[in-house]
């Protein structure tokens, strides 16, 4: 279907554009800092520990904790809690403070219980998540120990996620999005201490244990950073008596399946990790690093678009403003599409030099860079679908439609699992990532149909599809040309030249093609 021509915006549209752009800019800025520190952390980790069995054990343990973290907290909690809090605010006798206290009590107790269960059943969890480790002496035991050490992190991060959701509902985005950098800073500090000769008496086994302990404790620092903002916003950390007042618990429990859908990327990676545990050593580290690189544009823009738009979408849905809902959904999906498409093309073209520039240091070898780049190439092909799905899930939750996302994501994960075995046989770790991309595109098609049915929003006619695609193609050609020209200078020069060069070509192409939606991600300055 042809794209809609530019028209005079409806009353209030410019204000909505500016508000959305400001929120996106703040979240993207905080995300950029957090992700840059995250990549520094990962690069230092593989340089120090390499990409073999030891790193696989740490990343497998971290993946298990991440499943619980993403299911109960982070973006999942945002999507479940914010619409409930917005409805609470809209009541005449609103008592959002009491509702928050109820939610705080519930999340704290559930997270503490899950963390304790994870410690007790650590071996069973690792057996389920990485069955292939049973064939390597000591690998399953080490992963189980690391899992137990990391489990307290779950409590701290889920509590900070509740704080973030309450602050996002108050339209405060930048500092809550910056707080997760505490994790990377703590790990980087310890790795640098190792590199500078401190704690030199520790062997590799003891050092990976110490690293897991520091990573776990960093969650408490994140909580302490957000606490002053929370108190300033009018919320207090007061436990509710579960026998008298735990009003948020039934609503959060009813919405619990919705949290599972927002953790689908972590569940997909857990499925891949389970299959990769049967592959040669290094496969789990490769898919972890590939997923981390793909998460850069996803977290920076798609997740930011979902987070910024969710309070507004929930508010308009509660007020019955259908037209305003569709208008704001268009902003969020446009911003996601304008970034995810060129990111997919650019990452696929420059996968190997990016992996070599970021990771090929110390004990991380060229063969491991090649394995990581193959996984990254296939995973990057699903980027536009990942972004579309994140925003679509938030939109459907704002409408109070929780069954559709649950059904779609369940089918996506089943398809992912079914594709893993044949594709892993053909392509190894890259095949596992291709399974994730294919299943994500299938889910995106299903979300398109559901969105049209539930809100009247049609992505093919309501979004700028074709002109951004032309701009992305031009950027891809630029990245390919720069990659060839700068190849002899080494991977660092290719990455430093091809990536920003392609970005410049892309945004100038958007401007030449008069894609006005580009201002959503430039803050209106270009």
* CA–CA distance, 232 with 249 (Å, rounded to integer): 25
User: Distance between the two ends of the chain, CA-based, in angstroms?
Assistant: 28
For 397-433, the pLDDT digits (tens) are: 778 787 888 899 999 999 999 999 999 999 999 999 9
CA distances from 503 to 298, 302, 475, 509, 514 (A): 16, 17, 7, 10, 17
- The three-class DSSP label of residue 151 is coil
The more confidently predicted of residues 203 and 174 is 203
Q: How confident is the model at residue 158 (pLDDT cuts 50, 70, 90)?
A: confident
Cα–Cα–Cα angle for 400, 406, 407, rounded to 5 degrees:
120
Dihedral over Cα of 124, 129, 132, 137: its sign: negative
Q: Which SS3 state, helix, strand or coil, does residue 265 take?
A: helix
Q: Residues of the chain with pLDDT > 70: what percent?
A: 82
Task: Please give the angle made by the CA atoms of 468, 469 and 474, to the nearest 5 degrees.
Answer: 95
> What are the tens digits of pLDDT across the range 336-349?
888 899 999 999 99
Tracing tokens 């019955």 back to the chain, one arrives at: 320
Tokens of 394: 């938030």
Q: Please return the burial class of 516, using the count of CB atoms within 10 Å of its CB with bins 0-12, 13-18 and 19+.
A: middle
Q: What is the pLDDT of residue 507?
A: 92
Write the pLDDT tens digit of every residue in 363-401.
888 999 999 999 999 999 999 999 899 888 878 877 878
- Give the tens place of pLDDT for each residue, 457-477: 888 788 888 999 999 999 999
3-state secondary structure of 382: coil
Distance CA 185, CA 525 (A): 32
Q: What is this structure's pTM?
A: 0.75
Domain boundaries in the chain? 13-463
Burial of 203 (0-12, 13-18, 19+ CB in 10 A): exposed
Contact, 427 vs 342, CB < 8 A?
A: no
- C-alpha 414 chain-centroid distance: 20
Q: Alpha-carbon distance 244 to 149, whole Å?
A: 35
What whole-number distance in Å separates Cα of residue 10 and Cα of residue 32? 33
* CA dist., res. 231 & res. 182, Å (int): 20
DSSP 3-state of 340: helix
pLDDT digits (tens, 9 = 90+) for 212-254: 999 999 999 999 999 999 998 888 888 876 555 566 666 666 5
Q: How is residue 509 written in tokens? A: 């192409």
C-alpha span between 220 and 14 (Å, rounded): 40
C-alpha radius of gyration, the chain, whole number: 22
């Amino acid at each position: 279907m042809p794209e809609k021509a530019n028209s005079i915006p409806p009353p209030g549209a410019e204000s909505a554009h500016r508000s959305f752009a400001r929120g996106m800019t703040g979240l993207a800025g905080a995300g950029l800092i957090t992700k840059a520190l995250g990549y520094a952390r990962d690069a230092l980790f593989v340089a120090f520990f390499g990409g073999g069995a030891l790193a696989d054990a740490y990343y497998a343990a971290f993946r298990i904790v991440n499943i619980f973290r993403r299911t109960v907290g982070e973006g999942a909690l945002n999507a479940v809690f914010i619409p409930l809090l917005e409805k609470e605010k809209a009541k005449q006798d609103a008592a959002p403070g009491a509702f928050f206290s109820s939610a705080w009590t519930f999340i704290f107790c559930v997270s503490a219980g899950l963390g304790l269960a994870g410690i007790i059943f650590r071996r069973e969890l690792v057996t389920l998540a990485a069955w292939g480790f049973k064939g390597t002496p000591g690998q399953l035991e080490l992963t189980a120990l690391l899992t137990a050490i990391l489990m307290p992190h779950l409590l701290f991060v889920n509590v900070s996620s509740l704080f973030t959701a309450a602050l996002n509902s108050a339209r405060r985005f930048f500092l809550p999005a910056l707080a997760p950098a505490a994790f990377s800073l703590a790990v980087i500090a310890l790795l640098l201490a190792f590199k500078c000769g401190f704690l030199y008496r520790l062997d590799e086994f003891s050092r990976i244990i110490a690293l897991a302990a520091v990573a776990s404790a960093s969650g408490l620092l994140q909580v302490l950073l957000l606490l002053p903002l929370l108190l300033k916003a009018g919320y207090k950390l007061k436990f509710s008596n579960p026998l008298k007042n735990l009003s948020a618990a039934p609503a959060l429990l009813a919405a619990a399946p919705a949290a599972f859908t927002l953790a689908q990327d972590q569940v997909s990676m857990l499925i891949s990790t389970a299959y990769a545990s049967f592959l040669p050593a290094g496969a789990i580290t490769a898919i972890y690093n590939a997923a981390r690189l793909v998460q850069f544009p996803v977290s920076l823009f798609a997740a930011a678009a979902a987070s910024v738009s969710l309070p507004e979408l929930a508010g308009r849905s509660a007020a019955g403003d259908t037209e305003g809902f569709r208008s704001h959904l268009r902003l969020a999906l446009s911003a996601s599409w304008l970034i995810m498409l060129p990111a997919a093309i650019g990452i696929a073209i420059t996968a190997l030099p990016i992996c070599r520039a970021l990771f090929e240091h110390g004990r991380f070898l060229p063969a491991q860079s090649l394995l990581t780049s193959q996984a990254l190439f296939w995973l990057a092909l699903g980027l536009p679908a990942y972004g579309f799905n994140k925003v679509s899930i938030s939109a459907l939750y704002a409408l109070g439609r929780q069954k559709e996302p649950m059904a779609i994501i369940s089918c996506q994960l089943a398809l992912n699992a079914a594709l893993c075995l044949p594709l892993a046989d053909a392509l190894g770790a890259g095949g596992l990532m291709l399974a994730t991309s294919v299943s994500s595109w299938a889910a995106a098609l299903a979300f398109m149909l559901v969105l049209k049915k539930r809100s009247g929003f049609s992505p093919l006619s309501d979004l700028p599809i074709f002109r951004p695609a032309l701009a992305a193609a031009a950027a891809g050609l630029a990245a390919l040309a720069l990659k060839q020209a700068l190849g002899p200078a080494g991977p660092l020069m290719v990455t430093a030249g091809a990536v920003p060069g392609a970005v410049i070509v892309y945004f100038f192409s958007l401007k030449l093609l008069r894609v006005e939606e580009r201002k959503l991600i430039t803050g209106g300055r270009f």
